[in-house]
Amino acid sequence: MPAESDDLATPRPVRGRGVAAIALIVVVAGIVYGLDQLTKALIVQNLVEGSTQQLLGDLLQLHFVRNPGAAFSLATGMTWIFSIAAVAVVGFVVWYARRIRSLLWAVVFGLVLAGALGNLTDRLFREPGFARGHVVDFIQVWGFPAIFNIADVGITVGMALFVLLVLRGVGLDGSRRVTESSVDATTATAPDTAPDDGATRP
């Protein structure tokens, strides 16, 4: 009987990690999405389109533009295509989130979800029309060729963290993938534990 109760209790931590990961996705996505929409509303209310306001001299400026293309003002004139792509990204993140057990992966999904939703909201509800709306961009950094917004930052940071986790072999459940190189390194540094056969050494 004790053995059976232990077996029944084993999945609970896994389910717990899954709930925590989903909760973190929601929290991260909610914070970044809210910040994105709030900053866009403030920009639209307080700046004239095309105007520039310095925050840190030329290093960091607010430059209000309306972007009909993708992130960082790329591929202008194809707004409806990116609206469809954003819907697909949101659907994928929501559907795949149930598999997440790693909190780091939850942050990745939350950032990407917030970024996709932030710019999708603009494309759906801003002028000139549904699924053709122009995204509000306003962050300009010296030396960077494009103007962007908080949603773009969320997507960029999320994808950078995605690449880092993949390179480090971190799975969606938080486990680390064991590679041949890591096994070889472990073997090379392991102490000699061969049993003593009792033979006299010179």
Positions annotated as catalytic residues are 137, 152
Contact 22, 100 (CB under 8 A): yes
In angstroms, what CA-CA distances link 60 with 27, 45, 57? 28, 20, 6
Chain mean position to CA 112: 4
Residues 41, 71: Cα–Cα separation, whole Å = 18
Residues 105, 5: Cα–Cα separation, whole Å = 31
Which of 114, 95, 109, 111 is CA-nearest to residue 172? 109
Lookup: tokens for 117: 């939703």
Q: Would the CA dihedral through 185, 188, 191, 195 be positive or negative?
A: positive
